Structures are given as C-alpha cells and as structure tokens.
Amino acid sequence: MLVRLIAQVRKEMLVVLRDPRSRAVLVGPPLVQLFVFAFAATLEVENVAVAVLDRDEGRWSHEVVERVRATRMAREVITVDSPAALVDALDGRDVLLGVAFQPDFSRRIEAGKVAPMQVVLDGRRGNSAQIALGYIGTIVADVNADIARARGGAAAEPVDVIPRHLFNPNLEYLWFTVPALVGILSMFSALIITALSIARERELGTFEQLLVSPASAGEIILGKCLPALIFGTLLASVMIGAGIFVYGIPFSGSVALLYGALVLFILSVVGVGLMISSVSRTQQQAILGAFAVGVPLVLLSGFATPVDNMPRALQLAAQADPLQHFLVIVQGIFLKALPAEAVWTHLWPIAVIAVVTLGGALAFVGRRLY
C-alpha cells in the first residue's frame, strides 16, 4: 500500500512539476507578490495633495498651512482662490482634502474668539479622509497650544497621553502584511493545486483509470493531499524566510508551533480543494470554484479590515475560516511570541475544520469511486 501511495504522490508531483511554466508559476509569482503587495497594503496616509482656500492671509492661517505642509501626510499644498476651484479640485480627485479660512480667521483669534476653519474631505476615499482628519486634529491642537502661549495664557495640556505600541513599536505596516501574506498566498497555492487534481483527471478522462486501480478512496485522497501539502509548506517556508531575512521582521515565537499550525492549516485548505475538485466536471469549474471559496476566506480573515468591525453574523462565519485563525497564529508567533495556550485557542478550530473538510472530501471522492 505504501508503494502504491508513493507512486501516486510521485505521479501527482510530476503532473505539476513536469511543465516548466507551471513549475515557475508555483514559486515565482507568490514571491513577486510578497515583495510588491507587502508594500502596497498600508492604510497610512502619506503624500496626498491638500487644497487651501485662504481668504484670511493672516498670521494664524499661515501658521496652520505651514504645519500642514510640514506633515508626512501632505505631498503638496495647492492654493485655490475660490470655493468653486476647491469643488473642482475635490470632484476631480486632485486633492484628498481642502482647508478653507474665512477672512476674519486671524482677527477672531486675536480677539479671543473661536475661529472656525472648514475642512472638506473626499468621502469617496473615506478611510484616508478619516485618517487625514486625525492629522488635522493634531495640527489644530498644536496651533491652539501656540495661541495660548503667544497670548500668555494657561500652561500646556495638563494631562499627557503617552502611546506605546507593543510588539511593533514603530507600527511598521510590513510586519503585519508579510506574515499575513504567508497565509494567504500558501492558501491559494494549496487550494488551486488540489482543486485541479481530480477535475483534471475527469476532464482528461484518466479518472476511469484511477477507478480501476487497486487504490482505495483513502489512498487516492492521501495521494492528492500530499503534493499540495509539500508545495504549500515549502512556499510558506520561503516566504517566512523572506520575512525574517529580507524584511527583518523579528521572529519571537516557536518555530515548531508555527509549523504545526501551518501543516494543519494547509490540510484544512486541501480538504476544501478536494471537495471542490470532486464536484467539478472541468478544470475551469474547479478553478472558479476555488476562487469562489478562496476570496470569501480572505475577506473574512481580518486581513483587509479587522473581524471586530464585521456584523455579528459574519464574525461567527469568520470562526469557521481557517485562514482567520491561522493569521492570528502566524502574526502572534512572529511578533508576540504567542504562548502555546494562546496558539491552542486558535489551533483547535483549525484542527476541527481540517477534520470536517478532509472527512467531507473522503465522502465526496468515495461516492465517485463506488
């Protein structure tokens, strides 16, 4: 039986590795992606353009504008001379936000009154707009402190809020995205390899040959699982290595725990892939099926936006998403030296999912066999 299994695994590996392009596509694109996308996925706001409509031209409006100019947020400050021009700049997406001062802005401040400053932001880029407004808020607080000092008023803020970011002191966004991409990219690899495996046999008509071979359903499943498991683990290892040695992300946790979780995670994905494969008649259906499942898994994983923000029902659905649990583990082991018991709270759901999906795959393929 072992001989049969080895022969089958060897054959499955050859199917993928025989073609030089399919060999290249297994390793090349994920690594390129790791380098490109790791830099892209940031929710910080930098280098945007800001429009200024300054009808005051006074000391304090200049002070605010200079401070805006000095932030990392602003790449350039565009001066406009009418509200209509401000509207055009926003409509045409030339600027993310505009700041407008009334003619009496500085005079009101000197007179000890409240001076409103209008901030208009592009709601189409709502997330960036919100973050940018946060920067503006800080600038306003600083200017107010200056005003108080200039007018010989009260001392600075009596309560100091000191933020300290643990595990990632400078909030390097790459430290978040690279470990997450390890999970996402190896998931898609394993999913597509297994989804195609049985569908390819059926499309090419070689499934009949498997049926008449002495291999049992369990052996066939195992034979289809192992190549995806091997490729997925290797790919993840290369990416983990790149994260540590190329990006310099600190790796603080246990390697053994990470690999234990990785193998279970890929097995759970492999089960999903095999189920898709056993119900697909063509490779096209299998690939599209893999996407129809893979994309929701990414959306629910908390990679793009936190699971906490989702509605209740989707938060529950996220509990059944192996990627969501794996991302907590891989990010925790990388940055937080996640202790074994904390790993376990996310590992057992993955194990349950793996048992369910592999069991399902066994049942599906078994039905085709008998």
* Residue numbers 291-330 binding another protein by CB under 8 A: 291-292, 295-296, 299-300, 304-306, 308-311, 314, 328
Tokens of 111: 């007179």
99, burial (CB in 10 Å: exposed 0-12, middle 13-18, buried 19+)? buried
Instruction: Determine if 254 is a binding residue for another protein (CB under 8 A).
Output: no
Q: Name the minimum Å distance from CB 365 to another protein.
A: 20
Q: Segment contacting another protein (CB under 8 A): 22-30, 215-223, 240-248, 359-367?
A: 22-30
Q: Name the minimum Å distance from CB 303 to another protein.
A: 10
Q: Residues with Cβ < 8 Å from 279, sequence gap 6 or more? A: 289, 364
Tokens of 33: 């992606």
Q: Look-up: residue for tokens 């001066």? A: 79
Instruction: Determine if 43 is a binding residue for another protein (CB under 8 A).
Output: yes
Tokens of 208: 């009949």
Task: Provide Rg for the chain, Cα atoms.
Answer: 28
CA separation for the pair 100, 90 (Å, rounded): 13
Instruction: Determine if 13 is a binding residue for another protein (CB under 8 A).
Output: no
Number of residues forming the site for another protein (CB under 8 A) = 123
Residue number with CB closer to another protein (44 or 81): 44
Helices (H), 250-339: 255-279, 283-300, 312-319, 322-331
Residue number with CB closer to another protein (183 or 362): 183
Tokens of 246: 């190329």
User: Of 153, 218, 241, 359, which lies in the binding site for another protein, with binding defined by CB under 8 A?
Assistant: 153
Tell me the DSSP string of 201-247: HHHHT-HHHHHHSS--HHHHHHHHHHHHHHHHHHHHHHHHHIIIIIS
Q: Are 221 and 272 in contact (CB under 8 A)?
A: no
Q: Residues with Cβ < 8 Å from 163, sequence gap 6 or more? A: none
Residue number with CB closer to another protein (92 or 214): 92
Q: Residues with Cβ < 8 Å from 102, sequence gap 6 or more? A: 55, 56, 115, 116
Instruction: Determine if 151 is a binding residue for another protein (CB under 8 A).
Output: yes
CA dihedral 329, 181, 168, 160 (to 10 degrees): -100
Residue number with CB closer to another protein (219 or 227): 227
Q: Which helix (H) or strand (E) holds 29?
A: helix 20-40
Residue number with CB closer to another protein (55 or 108): 108
Q: Are 59 and 106 in contact (CB under 8 A)?
A: yes
Instruction: Determine if 164 is a binding residue for another protein (CB under 8 A).
Output: yes
Q: Name the minimum Å distance from CB 28 to another protein.
A: 9
Tokens of 114: 């409240």
Residue 147 CA to its chain's centroid (Å):
42
Instruction: Determine if 76 is a binding residue for another protein (CB under 8 A).
Output: no
Instruction: Determine if 17 is a binding residue for another protein (CB under 8 A).
Output: no
Residue number with CB closer to another protein (109 or 261): 109
Residue number with CB closer to another protein (213 or 345): 345
Q: Segment contacting another protein (CB under 8 A): 189-197, 212-220, 222-230, 231-239?
A: 189-197
Restricting to residues 83-142, which ones interact with another protein according to CB under 8 A? Answer: 90-93, 96, 108-130, 133-134, 136-137, 140-141
Residue number with CB closer to another protein (219 or 285): 285
Q: Name the minimum Å distance from CB 153 to another protein.
A: 5
Instruction: Determine if 335 is a binding residue for another protein (CB under 8 A).
Output: yes
User: Of 30, 183, 227, 271, which lies in the binding site for another protein, with binding defined by CB under 8 A?
Assistant: 30
CA separation for the pair 203, 283 (Å, rounded): 7
Residues forming beta bridges with residue 98, ordered by sequence position: 51, 120
Instruction: Determine if 208 is a binding residue for another protein (CB under 8 A).
Output: no
Instruction: Determine if 339 is a binding residue for another protein (CB under 8 A).
Output: yes
Residue number with CB closer to another protein (20 or 214): 20
Restricting to residues 264-293, which ones interact with another protein according to CB under 8 A? Answer: 282-285, 287-288, 290-292
